[in-house]
């Protein structure tokens, strides 16, 4: 698990990419500063969100509206002692976009730089990067 930086002074947004086996989480400030991102097993989601809420001043959760989102929304509402306000965000094409963002965040080194991006293999789940993109989509929607 990542060591979080000191909590920001402003409210932050929790991004949540729900899944059946694993979920992506991200915490980002309104200034778009990324504070946390992690892929976790689905069964650890509620506890991890509670821990993040203790570490960061989370004001709301943005969640993808596709894979099992309605079940997750219900579960989060039922099982959280103090449920967050949840905003659903269109997550179409987010996995494709997350693949591109992965290479921006973790550029290849050495000979791997010579391999075309479409042929490179991503060696870890990218659900957390999808959660980052969901927050960004939400913030873009606010400014449009």
- Residue ranges and CATH numbers for the domains of the chain are 12-143 (3.30.420.140)
Q: Per residue in 47-101, pLDDT tens? A: 999 999 999 999 999 998 887 888 898 888 888 878 889 999 998 989 889 999 9
Q: CB–CB of 126/112 below 8 Å?
A: no
Q: Per residue in 87-97, pLDDT tens? A: 999 989 898 89
- Distance in angstroms (rounded) separating the CA atoms of residues 10 and 98: 26
End-to-end CA, the chain = 35
pTM of the model: 0.87
Q: Per residue in 22-44, pLDDT tens? A: 999 999 999 999 999 999 999 99
- Rg of the chain over all Cα atoms, to the nearest angstrom: 15
pLDDT reading at 132 higher than 90: yes
For residue 142, what pLDDT is reported? 81
Q: Which of 53, 75, 69, 68 has its CA nearest to residue 7?
A: 53
- Distance in angstroms (rounded) separating the CA atoms of residues 107 and 120: 11
- Distance in angstroms (rounded) separating the CA atoms of residues 23 and 17: 6
Q: How far is CA 45 from CA 8, 17, 20, 101, 129, in A?
A: 22, 11, 11, 23, 16
- Distance in angstroms (rounded) separating the CA atoms of residues 111 and 86: 43
């Amino acid at each position: 698990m990542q060591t979080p930086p000191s909590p920001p002074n402003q409210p932050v947004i929790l991004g949540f990419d729900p899944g059946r086996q694993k979920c992506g989480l991200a915490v980002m400030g309104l200034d778009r500063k990324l504070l946390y991102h992690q892929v976790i097993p689905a069964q650890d989601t509620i506890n991890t969100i509670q821990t993040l809420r203790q570490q960061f001043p989370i004001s709301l959760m943005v969640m993808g509206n596709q894979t099992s989102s309605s079940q997750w929304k219900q579960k989060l509402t039922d099982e959280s002692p103090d449920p967050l306000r949840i905003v659903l965000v269109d997550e179409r094409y987010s996995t494709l976009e997350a693949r591109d963002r992965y290479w921006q965040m973790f550029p290849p080194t050495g000979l791997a730089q010579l391999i075309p991006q479409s042929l490179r293999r991503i060696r870890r789940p990218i659900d957390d990067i999808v959660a980052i993109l969901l927050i960004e989509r939400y913030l873009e929607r606010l400014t449009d």
